[in-house]
Amino acid sequence: MPATPCIHHEDCNADYSCLICKKDHCSECFHVSSGICHSCIYKGIILIMVIMVILSYIAWTALL
């Protein structure tokens, strides 16, 4: 059975599968302890920051 290449590194074999996007990744682009790839972690951080900005705007308008 041929090895599946990593989605970001075609020359590396995919060792792990992300829990969120379900794509195959090598050990360089995968965070083993969380089970999530680096690109999904970055997307999650951006989403949390946008939510924090919206909530802070709501809090400031509620105080004024």
Domain boundaries, the chain: 16-63
Look at residue 1 in the predicted model and tell me its pLDDT. 41
| Overall pTM > 0.95 | no
- Summarised one tens digit per residue, pLDDT across range 13-48 is 888 898 999 888 888 888 888 999 999 999 999 999
Residue 2 has pLDDT above 70, yes or no: no
Q: What would the mean pLDDT of 3-16 be, rounded to a whole number?
A: 82
Look at residue 10 in the predicted model and tell me its pLDDT. 80
Q: Is 9 exposed, middle or buried (0-12, 13-18, 19+ CB in 10 A)?
A: middle
Q: How far apart are CA 6 and CA 26, in angstroms?
A: 5
